[in-house]
């Protein structure tokens, strides 16, 4: 479909009458409420924090509302915790660490494997919970549960493979060894965009190698974390090994940072908060892993296969309604393919069905909250004021609430905020370039360096460009690259350390060099 036709279809959305939108919302509410009732009845909605294996309220009784971003409905409340509860969770994690670290890797592996089995057995309920509190469509939520559970399975296996080393000694009466030991109590601060997977990607390896954890899930999506923690208890992971506190984010963060018993902070979220955590961790010299913001370029060369590039860019941009750190943030298109790509891409975006994630066939859920919608609106305003053209979308969806139309902007350039900052929403800006050199320069011209995508049929170019990109992850002719077996992490201000894969467990281990001296020869 041409851009002009796409624009015509766009205007037909605007004649949706108010009663239609209200009808949709009522229907969505009914669907959501039925799911909440089912999950409450089957015990999947936990409304307390987990400290030392006990379900507890905030000491002062304060609570926090958890709302469905698709409907605005209140799902339930959870405790609004702070310094006191976090200190108790740290003490409990520290005490449990003394025994958990002494189990063999094979014993820890059995518990993690059981946890994986339970996560998998309950993937439908967990996915519904993710959709209810986060908004992503059920298909994506189910994908996240599988992805999240796979980290637990992978590190259940890795628990048995934490090898040390025997070093060649320069002196014949010495034997030199390297032991790998768990770092200790880990504070894990996780985001709302992947309420399960960002937890298991951190605590899978931590628990596997003998660490214990205090998790602070996002206040927007604590329910999946609490349900996963309940399943971990059922799997026999000892009380105190996995604690969950939520509420006052800065008080919880400061308590984790100040405690000498916490030896590691792992965080996924914004670059601004990551920098604060890194500075705070300096006081007690904790290890730090940071998965921060991105500004992913998606480069489409003239020689790319059009269908592959459209499909790849669509997946890279619109997964989770554009709310991932690896989402394509800027689509750089070479001038020879620009018009064809822009038409085909806008056409594909037009087909994305927007709605409540619980509804069959929906491909784009709501944004997480009103602030996220306002941020998207301000980027679009800035871009159109500076000459960008809306090819499709460009406004709030007729469903209202936090729904935004999947949007493609043409004529964007590097002066616009949208190509310089992380959008975290369903808007794809297209930027034109002439040469390979120019594309590499544009791609690297940012402080971020998490994910990049390249579409080309020239194998030499794919290598050249991949090697020149200052990014931790590169997808070549592929828009969805995340997997348990590959290292996830960024260059530059996108973070420190790697998660997942055989490398991820090293982030939770200390190396201890042992020198055995005065060994008598026969
Ligand atoms: C993220 O957005 O931080 C995670 C995305 C992924 O694991 O693919």
User: For a pocket test of ligand 1, which of 197, 221, 424, 453 has the largest count of ligand atoms closer than 8 A to its C-beta?
Assistant: 197
Tell whether the model's pLDDT for residue 23 goes beyond 60.
no
Of 160, 154, 78, 161, give the one whose Cα is nearest residue 115: 154
Tell whether the model's pLDDT for residue 122 goes beyond 80.
yes
CA 206 to ligand 1 center in whole angstroms: 19
Long-range (24+ apart) CB contacts under 8 A made by 372-379 are: 372/323, 372/402, 372/424, 372/425, 373/402, 373/404, 373/425, 375/423, 375/424, 375/425, 376/404, 376/423, 376/425, 376/426, 376/427, 378/417, 379/416, 379/417, 379/418, 379/421, 379/423, 379/425, 379/427
Token look-up 């309920």 returns: 125
Nearest ligand 1 atom to alpha carbon 197: 7
pLDDT of residue 98: 98
Q: How confident is the model at residue 4 (pLDDT cuts 50, 70, 90)?
A: very low
> Percent of the chain beyond pLDDT 90?
91
pLDDT digits (tens, 9 = 90+) for 41-92: 899 999 999 999 999 999 999 999 999 999 999 999 999 999 999 999 999 9
What CA–CA distance (Å, rounded) separates 321 from 427?
9
pLDDT of residue 392: 98
Tell whether the model's pLDDT for residue 97 goes beyond 90.
yes
pLDDT digits (tens, 9 = 90+) for 123-182: 999 999 999 999 999 999 999 999 999 999 999 999 999 999 999 999 999 999 999 999
Average pLDDT, the chain: 94
pLDDT of residue 27: 53
Q: What is the CA radius of gyration of the chain?
A: 24
Catalytic positions: 291, 325
190 lines ligand 1 (CB under 6 A): no
- Across the range 495-501, mean pLDDT stands at 98
Q: How confident is the model at residue 28 (pLDDT cuts 50, 70, 90)?
A: low
pLDDT digits (tens, 9 = 90+) for 434-486: 999 999 999 999 999 999 999 999 999 999 999 999 999 999 999 999 999 99
| Interacting residues of 430 by C-beta distance below 8 A, sequence separation 6+ | 331, 333, 338, 341, 342, 345, 391, 408, 409, 410, 411, 412
Tell whether the model's pLDDT for residue 424 goes beyond 80.
yes
What CA–CA distance (Å, rounded) separates 474 from 359?
33
């Amino acid at each position: 479909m041409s851009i002009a036709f796409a624009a015509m279809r766009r205007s037909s959305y605007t004649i949706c009458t108010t009663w239609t939108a209200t009808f949709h919302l009522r229907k969505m509410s009914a669907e959501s409420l039925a799911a909440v009732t089912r999950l409450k009845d089957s015990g999947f909605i936990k409304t307390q924090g987990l400290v030392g294996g006990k379900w507890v309220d905030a000491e002062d009784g304060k609570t926090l509302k958890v709302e469905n971003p698709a409907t605005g409905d209140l799902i339930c409340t959870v405790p609004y915790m702070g310094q006191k509860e976090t200190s108790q969770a740290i003490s409990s994690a520290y005490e449990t660490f003394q025994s958990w670290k002494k189990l063999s890797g094979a014993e820890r592996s059995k518990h993690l494997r059981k946890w994986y089995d339970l996560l998998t057995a309950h993937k439908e309920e967990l996915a519904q919970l993710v959709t209810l509190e986060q908004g992503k469509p059920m298909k994506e939520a189910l994908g996240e549960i599988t992805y999240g559970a796979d980290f637990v399975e992978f590190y259940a296996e890795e628990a048995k493979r934490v090898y040390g080393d025997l070093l060649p000694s320069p002196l014949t009466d010495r034997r030199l060894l390297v032991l790998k030991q768990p770092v200790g109590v880990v504070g894990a601060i996780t985001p709302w965009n992947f309420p399960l997977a960002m937890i298991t990607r951190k605590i899978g390896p931590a628990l596997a190698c003998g660490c214990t954890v205090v998790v602070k899930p996002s206040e927007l999506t604590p329910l999946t974390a609490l349900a996963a923690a309940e399943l971990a208890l059922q799997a026999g992971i000892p009380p105190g090994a996995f604690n969950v506190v939520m509420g006052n984010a800065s008080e919880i963060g400061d308590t984790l940072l100040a405690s000498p018993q916490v030896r590691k902070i792992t965080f996924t979220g914004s670059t601004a908060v990551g920098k604060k955590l890194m500075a705070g961790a300096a006081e007690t010299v904790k290890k730090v892993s940071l998965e921060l913001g991105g500004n992913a370029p998606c480069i489409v060369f003239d020689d790319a296969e059009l269908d592959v590039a459209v499909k790849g860019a669509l997946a890279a941009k619109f997964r989770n309604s554009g709310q991932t750190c690896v989402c394509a943030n800027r689509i750089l298109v070479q001038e020879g393919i620009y018009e064809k790509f822009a038409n085909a891409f806008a056409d594909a975006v037009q087909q994305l069905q927007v709605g409540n994630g619980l509804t069959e066939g929906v491909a784009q859920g709501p944004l997480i909250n009103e602030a996220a919608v306002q941020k998207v609106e301000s980027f679009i305003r800035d871009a159109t004021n500076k000459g960008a053209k809306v090819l499709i979308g460009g406004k709030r969806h007729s469903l209202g609430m936090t729904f935004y139309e999947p949007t493609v902007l043409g004529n964007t350039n590097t002066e616009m905020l949208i190509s310089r900052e992380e959008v975290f929403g369903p808007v794809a800006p297209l930027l034109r370039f002439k040469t390979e050199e120019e594309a590499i320069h544009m791609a690297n011209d940012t402080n971020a360096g998490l994910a990049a995508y390249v579409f080309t049929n020239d194998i030499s170019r794919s290598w050249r460009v991949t090697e020149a990109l200052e990014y931790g992850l590169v997808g070549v002719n592929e828009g969805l690259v995340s997997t348990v077996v590959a290292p996830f992490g960024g260059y530059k201000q996108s973070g420190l350390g790697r998660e997942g894969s055989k490398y991820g467990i090293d982030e939770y281990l200390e190396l201890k060099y042992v020198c055995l001296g005065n060994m008598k020869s026969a």
